[in-house]
Amino acid sequence: MSRTVAFVGLGIMGGPMARHLAAAGHDVVGFNRSPEKTRALVEAGGRAAASVAEAVDGADVVALMLPDSPDVTSVLTDGVFDAAKPGTLIVDFSTIRPDVARDLAAQASDRGLRMIDAPVSGGQAGAENAALSIMVGGAEADVADARPLLDVVGKTVVHVGPSGAGQTVKAANQLIVAGNIALLAEALVFLEAHGADLPAAVEVLGGGLAGSAVLNQKAPKMLDRDFGPGFRIDLHHKDMGIVSEASRSAGVVTPVAALVAQLVAATRAAGDGDLDHSALFRTVARLNGAEK
């Protein structure tokens, strides 16, 4: 069944996702603060709106892919909540604080709207290939209603609990990813110091228990010193802040998370915030007296 979908946020992740929905036959109306980012959606069969309110007007579903909690809050409270028709389903693909997700879902319900949190993992490649992992929090009926759309952009779609649960699982995902990248960076600097054949080492490591999606996707970037953004350090710094705050609020001790958060913060402080999170390698290299 074709639906009218307002899609707010057409960046590295949101742009491909919106285009997949349009290609699947949905009437997708996109809005982005940088209007030029709507061009690819229009070329894919979607439409461009000049404002959030214009995009949302008449939509069955409102999809969001925005950088941070304040951005999502602002778009909802200053545009979507007032422009959406009763019963509209809001699908937030952004990565935000779990407590903010719960609060916004409650506000949506008070206004006769429905909202689920559906943060994604898989990076730019996952978005472009419609192969994202989507962790979904919200009421079962609302998740079921959104499922046909989620299946268009995702390969693994799992309902993990009530509102905010998707964001909690995403925080855990970001902790695991950052930790893996940090350890991979240390391992490669270690191997390089010993004069190892790095491509050969990566190949054999990938065939054993050390093999992972992080190793497969990020080791080549580290070896090639290609840190063009797929997922920026700035965003992972924000996500590690979510991990820290959520750990503190639950009284959970996460010592490795604290160390990794400091490494991410150091990378950002060194001016690498716009680089891919594989640029943690640069910080590890600098700590060992090398500029990479």
Which one of the listed residues 170, 218, 221, 238 is annotated catalytic?
170
Helix (H, G, I), strand (E, B) or coil at 86: coil
- In contact, 198 and 223? CB cutoff 8 Å: yes
221 carries an active-site annotation: no
Rounded Cα gap, residues 237 and 219, in angstroms: 20
Buried b (16+ CB within 10 A) or exposed e, 225-249: eebebbbbbbbbbbbbbbbbebbee
Rounded Cα gap, residues 214 and 143, in angstroms: 29
Rounded Cα gap, residues 86 and 279, in angstroms: 45
* H/E stretch holding 159: strand 154-161
Rounded Cα gap, residues 173 and 160, in angstroms: 13
Q: Which two tokens stand for residue 24?
A: 């699947």
CA angle 239, 245, 248 (to 5 degrees): 140
* Residue in the structure block whose two tokens are 């779990």: 98
Exposed, middle or buried: residue 78 (CB in 10 Å: 0-12, 13-18, 19+)? exposed
Q: Which residues are catalytic?
A: 170
